[in-house]
A and B are shown apart, each in its own frame.
Chain A
Amino acid sequence: MSDRAAIGVELAEQFTDVAQQRRAATLGMWSWLLTELLLFAALFLIALVLRILHPDSVREAAHHLKFWIGATNTAVLICSSLTMSGAIVTSRLGWQRAMVRCMLATAALGSLFLVFKGYEYYQDYIEHMTPFLAWRPYELSGDRASQLYVSLYYVATALHAFHLTTGVAILLGLAWQARANGYLQRHQNRIEIYGLYWHFIDLMWIMVFTIIYVMNR
């Protein structure tokens, strides 16, 4: 790797020094992630409650989920966390161009996840596994509770996909800003903070996958 840029953080007005600003930003992101965790936690709780109330229906429904697409997507996201870590490490070293490449790779993997996810939804649609569409009758076996579980699957995965879509958009925005020379000198912080968010989206997928797909098979 070539040109090594100076790294640093532009001091915002309200802070006394850069160390304070870094601490604040990190804690801010962790607080946000804590909130996000509880947002998902409500869904996980409902999934567990449904499993306790209707164990057979839930198992029935979980068999219709595309396990292997979900598993592939888990692998894809774990790889994307690796490239994101690459971006953070290179940003600390001041290798700005390598960092941008890592970020683009991360965004590409994130998008690949979304493509797979879209394909999975398409397959679900073909199978008439869409209990919330009034004009398209549900044609899989299983009672109303299993349809409820399928609906919950849609809510959980759509919420995650929404986070991932936002994540990819922000990542592309950051990569666009980071083209400019001297970016790392002013905003190295942003890469670190953003990395936390990306890893969190990855972690949430692992939990969604475990709780919705794996546990009920």
Chain B
Amino acid sequence: MTDVAMRERTPPPATLDRPLDYLHDAHTLRSWLFTIDHKRIGILYLIAITAFFIIGAVAAGLVRLALVVPDGQIFTNDTYNKLFTIHGVVMVWFFLIPSIPATFGNFLLPLMIGAKDLAFPRLNLLSWYVFMTGAVFTLATVVIGGVDTGWTFYAPLSTTFSNTWVVPALIGVIVVGFSSILTGLNFVVTVHTMRAPGMHWFRMPIFVWTMYATSLIFLLATPVITMALILLVMERAFGIGVFDPALGGDPVLFEHLFWFYSHPAVYIMVLPGMGVISEIIPAFAQKKIFGYKFICYATIGLASITFFVWGHHMFVNGQSEYASLAFSFLSFAVAVPSAVKVYNWTATIHKGDIHLDTPMLYAMGYIGLFVLGGLTGLFLATLAIDEHIHDTYFVVAHFHYIMVGGTMLAFLGGLHFWWPKFTGRMYPEVWGRISALLIFLGFNVTFFPQFILGYLGMPRRYHVYPHEFQLLNILSSAGSTILAVGYIFPMIYLLWSLWFGKRAPSDPWNAKGLEWTTSSPPPKHNFIVPPIVDFEPYDYPVKAGESV
């Protein structure tokens, strides 16, 4: 078999001192909406998920507003149910899941492994359109019509009892699932086949490892929930009865299928954040990352174990006690690779040349909040304690420590860290630090009281509660206003910096990694000269006496 290459790879024409970058390559709206450049698609995702985040955050604000008074006077029950459903659906399906993979992953993955683009650029654009179609459709449904099932769509509420627009909301979520699958497919193939010469597996940045692990979860878990949601649509439209005990079905079966995806989805949200933190910390400690291979193995370990712990969401729904025991044990096992990562990050910081710039503040906040979120996860994995605190605010606080304290902080940290690379501009450092501190403070004031509330027995998803819980609820709502300010500042100053920020050099943080070797912003095909990798990852200067 002979392969005939029809086109020769041509070196780009010689340029002036500043090569034409991807932002200035073309200016029309068309050049953005039909782009197949992974960097531009990353930016398209960034704009979209920011818009979705605002909608989800407004809904969260209204939920916190409703909870200021104990007797549920502010909204009706139905409105309250619809509000927390908007918050959950939008934040989970349209913000957290695509957040880091679809934005930073799209932008950085090819840069970090020294490729010109992802393996399938047109498929990449298609997945953005699929995402937008599904997301906008569902968003319109939950905002205009309203859905009251929560983001989990549990049967029989979603199949039999809800009188809201469940079917269209489900269809949108199903469609968005395909966008995840296509992105995951693209990343897996890109990591396997597009690495630059010399970039072997153990020279890849941790961020690439986490993208790879996340993509595997996209590929293996998403189709299962797609089928579960299709059956839910069938159930509602035709009453076929797979999840209806009156017809011989089983509602718990839906929970199994749902969590077979949705627990791994937690790692779709967490692993990329870990990847971001693993890039930020060595850069701002100016030190080689501690235990590089252990972090790689821990990443793959987490992505594997996560497929076998779904039953810990179902300890009280009547599943077999032996199954619960096994799921409890396996859930404890998750703590091991998580702890490996936390210790490795702290060991990296230890005796480093620490710079407390904005990304590092977010990273430090991340470590602390992730530890709290992770440890409270162990409470929930303990069968006896879970009997007491399941479906309470303890659970709400736990997963917000992971999702907001973890993923959201990593997202913001990464956004500041790579902002110079994305845009070619520096953000204002002082404002960055102020917002990072506000978010850390606001987050803790919002969510720490919820641990106490939950432990005292306040159930989630109710807006009428006993009077003695009011103080803690008001504290939590007050904290959310601080958090809101912390979110609004970056939206303003980052936009401002697009025009008025200082021009960024190619490596403003003195960080290592291929993405910092090209200009800021990068040229259309990422590298003027295709890179050859003959160095180890994170090759920060080694100080005298430091062991590596």
Contact = CB atoms under 8 A, between A and B. Distances in A.
A13 B5 CA distance: 11
B185 interface: yes
B249 interface: yes
B6 A131 contact: no
B221, B224, B257 — most chain A CB neighbours (10 Å):
B224
B228 to A, nearest CB: 6
A150 B125 CA distance: 39
Please report whether the interface of chain A is mostly helix, strand, loop or mixed according to DSSP: helix
A49 B241 contact: no
A143 interface: yes
Interface string B210-245: 000000000111111011101100100011111000
A36 B223 contact: yes
Given A14-B121, A34-B219, A42-B227, A8 B189 contact: no
Contact of A147 (B1, B192, B194, B241): B241
Contact of B247 (A22, A32, A147): A147
Contacts of A27: 188-189, 192-193
B242 A46 contact: yes
Interface in B251-290: 253, 257
A148 interface: yes
Interface stretch (A50-58, A168-176, A199-207): A50-58
B7 interface: yes
B248 A6 contact: no
B245 to A, nearest CB: 10
Interface string B105-122: 000000000011111110
A148 B248 contact: yes
B240 A131 contact: yes
B142 interface: no
B9 interface: yes
A24 B2 contact: no
A23 B7 contact: no
Nearest to A50: B248
B2 A41 contact: no
Contacts of A131: 240
Contact of A13 (B4, B117, B189): B117
Interface string A32-74: 1011111111110110011001100100000000000000000
Given A11-B5, A147-B247, A151-B238, A39 B227 contact: yes
B246 interface: yes
A14 B241 contact: no
B219 A24 contact: no
A18 interface: yes
Contacts of A49: 250, 253
Contacts of A42: 223-224, 227-228, 257
B383 interface: no
Contact of A35 (B3, B9, B120, B181): B181
B193 A24 contact: yes
Given A14-B194, A144-B247, A7 B1 contact: yes
A117 to B, nearest CB: 19
Given A7-B1, A14-B119, A132-B239, A46 B224 contact: no
A122 to B, nearest CB: 19
A196 to B, nearest CB: 14
Interface string A12-36: 0111111110111001100110111
Contacts of A92: 1
A83 to B, nearest CB: 21
B223 A35 contact: yes
B242 A17 contact: no
A34 B188 CA distance: 12
Interface in A103-160: 131-132, 134, 143-145, 147-148, 151-152, 155
A152 B242 contact: yes
A144 B3 contact: no
A11 B193 contact: no
Contacts of A19: 3
B3 A9 contact: yes
Contacts of B246: 144
A143 B119 contact: no
A43 B228 CA distance: 9
Contacts of B194: 14-15, 20, 24
Contact of A28 (B189, B238, B241, B253): B189
B118 A14 contact: yes
Contacts of B530: 16
A155 B231 contact: yes
Contacts of B257: 42, 45
Given A8-B6, A132-B239, A14 B115 contact: yes
Contacts of A57: 248
A31 B187 CA distance: 11
B189 A151 contact: no
Given A131-B240, A148-B247, 10 more contacts: A8-B3, A14-B194, A35-B219, A40-B227, A42-B228, A92-B1, A132-B239, A151-B240, A151-B242, A186-B6
In the A-B complex, the 8 residue pairs with the closest CB atoms:
A145-B248, A8-B4, A42-B227, A151-B240, A132-B238, A39-B223, A14-B117, A18-B3
26 contacts: A11-B5, A11-B7, A14-B121, A15-B119, A18-B3, A18-B5, A24-B189, A24-B190, A24-B194, A31-B219, A34-B220, A35-B181, A35-B220, A36-B223, A38-B223, A42-B227, A42-B257, A49-B250, A54-B248, A131-B240, A145-B247, A148-B241, A148-B242, A148-B249, A151-B238, A155-B231
